[in-house]
Amino acid sequence: MNTKYKAFCDDPDCTHAHHSWLAADNALHEGGHEIRQRRVYVYSPSGAVQDKVAIRRGARYLTKAGYDMVLDEAVFARQTRFAGDHATRLAAIKRAADSGADVALISRGGYGLNHLLPLIDYAHVAQSIDAGVQWMGFSDFTALQLAVLAKTGRVTWAGASLGVDLGHADGPDEITLACFEDVAFRVGEGAGWRIGKDNAEYAGLDLQGATLWGGNLAVLSAMVGTPYFPQVDGGVLFLEDVAESPYRIERMLIQLEQAGVLGAQKALVLGHFTHANVTAHDRGFNLKTVVQALRDRLQIPVLTQLPFGHIRTKVCLPVGAKVDLQVGAREALLVWGHV
Amino acid sequence: MNTKYKAFCDDPDCTHAHHSWLAADNALHEGGHEIRQRRVYVYSPSGAVQDKVAIRRGARYLTKAGYDMVLDEAVFARQTRFAGDHATRLAAIKRAADSGADVALISRGGYGLNHLLPLIDYAHVAQSIDAGVQWMGFSDFTALQLAVLAKTGRVTWAGASLGVDLGHADGPDEITLACFEDVAFRVGEGAGWRIGKDNAEYAGLDLQGATLWGGNLAVLSAMVGTPYFPQVDGGVLFLEDVAESPYRIERMLIQLEQAGVLGAQKALVLGHFTHANVTAHDRGFNLKTVVQALRDRLQIPVLTQLPFGHIRTKVCLPVGAKVDLQVGAREALLVWGHV
């Protein structure tokens, strides 16, 4: 691996924040800057937007960066905790599919997709993907991503949301933005991250052509046994979560293990499990315990430190795409080429 | 239904707290008080005991009430949050099976059975049940109950724990104790409870010979898709939980629904969902919303108010037994006859 992870292009005149982690293969810059304006369609499939300011700030930021920003008419809808009732959110998903956008981006996650899954027109979503719409989000959005993969085999992107990430009060995280732009401009070919001693045993790992899939652990494990859970054999499964205590994380992983999901994969890649708070009763039982026990039980690599989850710096990952997973002494690399 | 729910025997000289909800069929009292002393074996299959005083208080209480109380040698064991490592708890389960007790009773729940499920000797547990050991517990114990049902078809009891219930600082709840005694003395034949207007639409319901099963919703839903989840068709499924917010309760119910579990049952009976706290973001989304939406979607009765869960007053329910479910204007009745 002669690749380098660099957050940004070195060209001081570049007005776009493209990152080029494959320094020798920066296709975007080889052709100069003749770049078509990209459209981003923002909609709310899950929870009601609580922070409208963040949505407007994110839209303003991306507009200034050159994007054609379109906010769905129901982006601020609310019914109790949801961004509108079932019909409202289903219609928003349909409009996102019909948007002709380069990226159909969630305003935020929360909770609300699970009960919509039987009602979604998956053929219509698949058509939109074939026509070039790239669906992106994370957290609750995992439910839609897995259902689309199960029902259509199409690729969606685990990545940023407008409210939490791109509309952040401090501005978007540089790497998060760069990865988002890679998707918007269809130049992303992979994601690399630094790994520590915790992953030393996996140095030299080189998996080829495995299906990348995953997302939020709570959402994903809550779909086991349903028709919306994809049957992936020999895949690379990535997982993250927020505000789940270590014993709950273990219980969810055990469900995946005992259901035969983990054993059927070539590798497990853990992102960040934020606010995985322990209590006095845990007495030393923590995330490390959970990961170590998992490594002891499973026959497959369990990598950690993937920059993904409920954290500011998150890469974009193509759910359902074939990837190579390469692990060096200090970094790991997921490579998908052009999706 | 000419049955009455009465908490206790009317005999003022009775030293046992038997309840007789079937007033016309109080077999225990018909034969007088020639009662063999019952043995209760207390062990810790899940979380480490945090309140040893409660365990000792419960054991003292039941000893005074005439029981032969045996505490497992590892009842107070601890490894991090668990009541000992895997081997320690597996050995405790084995000793409980070999105890010859009338009731093998958990000290407490917590978390810890899921990762033991592949390691348990189910044939040995089945032998103990055939020999007369009645296994009782709730919460995390649901995992063992469902696995035993899936692997052996044997009946276990959803009911009290020693620490939380029988060793309560205020003494055991009268109905909880009475139901426990019914199991210990093998005279329980059913459980009745008052229902309110919320269940008015189900008055007249009379289901015959359905398999009763269920327990803690979080534990049960975390077993969907695994070999330890029983395949019950045409059953009566009861559920309870603690400290799960309404949106999580809905997500778990949706998993059961979309996995085809709910639709395959004849009825769903909801116990108590304690500390199902809503937040400001829920904006009116609450347990009632969840139950109403479930009733709207499902074709089966969804009864509520079953006295079971993380509450002081809990009935004992035979998981895996055939039951009749009868609903009157003001009460519902689960009848299993002699298990």
In tens, the pLDDT along A125-181 reads 999 999 999 999 999 999 999 999 999 999 999 999 999 999 999 999 999 999 999
Task: State the DSSP string of B167-185.
Answer: T-TT---HHHHHHHHHHHT
Residue B17 domain-assigned (yes or no): no
Tell me how far apart the alpha carbons of residues A191 and A180 are, in angstroms, rounded to a whole number. 12
User: Measured between beta carbons, which residues in chain B are less than 8 angstroms from residue A225?
Assistant: 224-225, 229, 255, 258-259, 261
Tell if the CB–CB gap between B259 and A226 is shorter than 8 Å: yes
Residue B13 domain-assigned (yes or no): no
CB-defined contacts A:B, below 8 A = 102
Domain that holds residue B137: 23-184
Q: Which of A127, A162, A184 is the last residue of a domain?
A: A184
Calculate the alpha carbon distances from A181 to A61, A185, B123, B250 in Å: 13, 6, 58, 36
- Nearest Cα residue in chain A from B81: A282
- Give the residue ranges of chain B where pLDDT is below 70: 1-35, 338-339
Q: Are residues A205 and A158 in the same domain?
A: no
Q: Which of A114, A282, A290 to substitute to test the interface with B, most B CBs within 10 Å?
A: A114
Amino acid B68: pLDDT: 98
Q: Are residues A114 and A158 in the same domain?
A: yes
Angle at A74 between CA A76 and CA A58, to 5 degrees: 50
Which amino acid does the sequence have at A300? I
Q: Are residues A252 and A180 in the same domain?
A: no
Q: Are residues B179 and B199 in the same domain?
A: no
B317 touches chain A (CB under 8 A): no
Residue A228 domain-assigned (yes or no): yes
B281 touches chain A (CB under 8 A): yes
Q: Are residues A136 and A154 in the same domain?
A: yes
Tell me how far apart the alpha carbons of residues B23 and B76 are, in angstroms, rounded to a whole number. 40
Tell if the CB–CB gap between A47 and B281 is shorter than 8 Å: yes
Burial call A109-139: b when 16+ CB within 10 Å, e when fewer: bbbbbbbbbeebebeebbebbeeebbbbbbb
Between β-strands A103-106 and A134-137, what pairing exists: parallel, antiparallel or unpaired? Answer: parallel
Q: Are residues A194 and A177 in the same domain?
A: no
Distance from CA of B284 to the nearest CA of A (A): 6
Tell if the CB–CB gap between B78 and A283 is shorter than 8 Å: yes
User: Residues A14, A18, A19, A20: what is their CA dihedral angle, to the nearest 10 degrees?
Assistant: -80
Residue B107 domain-assigned (yes or no): yes
Beta bridge partners of B137: B158
Query: Does pLDDT of A191 surpass 50?
Result: yes
Mapped onto helix, strand or coil, the DSSP state of residue A226 is: coil
B255 touches chain A (CB under 8 A): yes
Amino acid B28: pLDDT: 45
Of A227, A258, A281, the CB nearest to B226: A258
Q: Are residues B163 and B248 in the same domain?
A: no
Question: For residue A101, what are the contacts with CB-CB under 8 A and spacing of at least 6?
Answer: A39, A40, A41, A70, A133
CATH at A268: 3.50.30.60
Q: Are residues A50 and A70 in the same domain?
A: yes
Q: Are residues B42 and B103 in the same domain?
A: yes
Angle at B266 between CA B113 and CA B269, to 5 degrees: 55
In tens, the pLDDT along A16-50 reads 434 433 333 334 444 454 568 999 999 999 999 99
Q: Which of A121, A153, A184 is the last residue of a domain?
A: A184
Amino acid A35: pLDDT: 65
User: Measured between beta carbons, which residues in chain A are less than 8 angstroms from residue B82?
Assistant: 285
Q: Are residues A167 and A198 in the same domain?
A: no
Mapped onto helix, strand or coil, the DSSP state of residue A176 is: helix
CATH at B28: 3.40.50.10740
Residue B204 domain-assigned (yes or no): yes
Please say whether the dihedral angle defined by the alpha carbons of residues B215, B221, B225 and B231, taken in this order, is positive or negative: positive
Residue A22 domain-assigned (yes or no): no
Q: Are residues B177 and B43 in the same domain?
A: yes
Which B-chain residues 60-89 have CB contacts (< 8 A) with chain A? 78, 80-82
Q: Are residues B196 and B273 in the same domain?
A: yes
Angle in degrees, 0-180, between the axes of helices B142-152 and B122-130, rounded to the nearest 10: 90
Amino acid B3: pLDDT: 34
Domain count, chain A: 2
Residue A7 domain-assigned (yes or no): no
In tens, the pLDDT along A209-238 reads 999 999 999 999 999 999 999 999 999 999
Query: Which residues of B belong to the active site?
Result: 139, 240, 310
Residue A9 domain-assigned (yes or no): no
Are A54 and A169 within 8 A, CB to CB? Answer: yes
B277 touches chain A (CB under 8 A): no
Residue A39 in tokens? 């459209």
Q: Which of A184, A206, A221 is the last residue of a domain?
A: A184
Whole-number average pLDDT of chain B: 91
Amino acid A337: pLDDT: 87
Which amino acid does the sequence have at B93? I
- The mean pLDDT of A264-291, rounded to a whole number, is 95
CA B65 to chain centre: 22
Tell me how far apart the alpha carbons of residues B138 and B158 are, in angstroms, rounded to a whole number. 5
- Nearest Cα residue in chain B from A281: B81
Of A47, A111, A251, the CB nearest to B111: A251
- The helix or strand, by DSSP H or E, that contains position B250, with its residue range, turns out to be helix B246-258
Residue B308 in tokens? 């079971």
